[in-house]
């Protein structure tokens, strides 16, 4: 009888202790989760704090609160440069600018012809619920065209494109054109609460060519000629980007030829964008 009574008393004490413990857990359920000896505490601003033993670890919430105007400094693009050749090489204009030229003259090395863009800043202005935004910026577009035929030469005074057998053994022959550019795009952000979200942008850009040059490397010698070579001073382009979480892609396609006369080469670029959003 005494044994049965002791068992009943012990069971009651255990039940009471469990009930008290359970009550404590219920009080914590709104802001606290207890897992064994670990406690997870929900903090103001949606941050979390984990307490295990005598250690505290804070875990910030990955979701962000969208702002009406955000700025992204020093955005970098890395990709390739190319152009769509629509020149009529039988025309008098083409032959006057590049005597004897054919389409093969201007074949470029697609693996080496690079585009690097350095954007000083890009800003995004909320238009509709942070999903539709106006995106704009300022930066430098650097384009390098490496030619398959190393003999091609862009000469100045007068400006002509010729084949020069004196540089047929050149290790490198490239034409560079650099622009100060302002892009203006309509941005669609389908996950505005995330830093690396999903969406796309489309618009136009206007770039002013501040530098152009041809660089030829023969052995240890380098020859660099600075001139505009009758390239267009302004480059107006369609521009766009695609955000796929951590991966961001960009591209551009110009309205018109990069040359003022003779040749009809419409430049384009494509590559990867390194940006916070």
First-to-last C-alpha distance (Å) of the chain: 75
Q: Is the pLDDT of residue 25 over 80?
A: no
Q: Is the pLDDT of residue 39 over 60?
A: yes
Task: Find, among 256, 251, 245, 244, the residue nearest to 268 by Cα.
Answer: 251
Q: Could you tell me which residue, 21 or 258, shows the higher pLDDT?
A: 258
Q: Which of 47-56, 155-164, 217-226, 257-266 has the lowest mean pLDDT?
A: 47-56
In which order are the strands placed within the sheet that holds 32-35?
32-35, 38-42, 48-52, 55-59
Which of 35, 59, 83 marks a domain boundary?
59
Instruction: Give the global pTM.
Output: 0.77
Same domain, 37 and 103: no
Same domain, 29 and 127: no
Same domain, 83 and 52: no
Same domain, 224 and 171: yes
* Residue 64 resides in a domain: no
Which of 19, 34, 59 marks a domain boundary?
59
pLDDT digits (tens, 9 = 90+) for 180-229: 999 999 999 999 988 888 999 999 999 999 999 999 998 888 899 999 99
**Total of domains in the chain:** 2
The pLDDT score that the predictor gives to residue 26 is 43
DSSP 134-155: EEEEEEEEEEEEEBSSTTEEEE
The pLDDT score that the predictor gives to residue 20 is 47
* Residue 255 resides in a domain: yes
Residues 183, 162 contacting (CB under 8 angstroms): no
Same domain, 183 and 258: yes
List phi, psi (to 5°) of 265.
Answer: -115, 110
pLDDT digits (tens, 9 = 90+) for 262-273: 999 999 999 999
* Residue 175 resides in a domain: yes
* Residue 54 resides in a domain: yes
Written in H, E and C, the secondary structure of 189-224 is: ECCCCCCCCEEEEEEEEEEEEEEEEEEEEECCEEEE
Same domain, 96 and 156: yes
Q: Could you tell me which residue, 13 or 185, shows the higher pLDDT?
A: 185
Give the residue-averaged pLDDT of 157-162.
Answer: 93
Same domain, 144 and 270: yes
Same domain, 48 and 157: no
Same domain, 51 and 173: no
Distance CA 138, CA 269 (A): 17
The pLDDT score that the predictor gives to residue 1 is 47
Same domain, 190 and 84: yes
Distance CA 121, CA 72 (A): 6
Distance CA 15, CA 21 (A): 10
- The overall average pLDDT reported for the chain is 85
Same domain, 195 and 78: yes
Quick one: CA torsion of 200, 205, 207, 213, rounded to 10 degrees? 50
Distance CA 251, CA 272 (A): 9
Range(s) of the domain holding residue 120: 69-274
**DSSP label at residue 43:** P
Same domain, 132 and 40: no
Residues 6+ apart with CB under 8 A from 120: 73, 74, 137, 138, 139
Q: Which of 25-39, 80-94, 162-176, 231-245 has the lowest mean pLDDT?
A: 25-39
Quick one: CA torsion of 159, 145, 272, 133, rounded to 10 degrees? 10
């Amino acid at each position: 009888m005494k044994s049965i009574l002791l068992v009943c008393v012990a069971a009651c004490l255990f039940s009471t202790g469990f009930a008290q413990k359970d009550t404590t857990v219920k009080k914590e359920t709104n802001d606290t989760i207890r897992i064994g000896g670990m406690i997870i505490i929900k903090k103001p601003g949606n941050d979390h704090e984990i307490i295990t033993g005598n250690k505290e670890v804070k875990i910030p919430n990955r979701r962000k609160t969208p702002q009406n105007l955000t700025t992204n400094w020093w955005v970098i693009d890395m990709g390739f440069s190319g152009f769509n050749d629509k020149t009529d090489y039988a025309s008098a204009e083409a032959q006057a600018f590049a005597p004897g030229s054919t389409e093969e003259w201007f074949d470029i090395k697609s693996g080496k012809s690079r585009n690097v863009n350095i954007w000083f800043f890009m800003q995004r202005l909320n238009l509709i619920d942070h999903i539709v935004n106006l995106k704009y910026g300022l930066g430098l577009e650097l384009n390098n065209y490496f030619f398959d035929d190393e003999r091609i030469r862009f000469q100045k005074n007068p400006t002509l494109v010729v084949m020069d057998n004196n540089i047929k053994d050149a290790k490198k022959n490239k034409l560079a054109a650099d622009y100060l550019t302002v892009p203006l795009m309509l941005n669609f952000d389908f996950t505005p609460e995330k830093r690396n979200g999903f969406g796309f942008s489309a618009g136009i850009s206007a770039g002013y060519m501040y530098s152009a040059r041809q660089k030829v490397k023969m052995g240890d010698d380098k020859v660099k000629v600075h001139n505009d070579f009758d390239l267009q001073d302004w480059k107006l382009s369609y521009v766009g980007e695609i955000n796929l979480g951590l991966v961001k892609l960009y591209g551009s396609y110009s309205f018109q030829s990069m040359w003022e006369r003779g040749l009809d080469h419409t430049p384009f670029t494509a590559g990867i964008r390194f940006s916070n959003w």
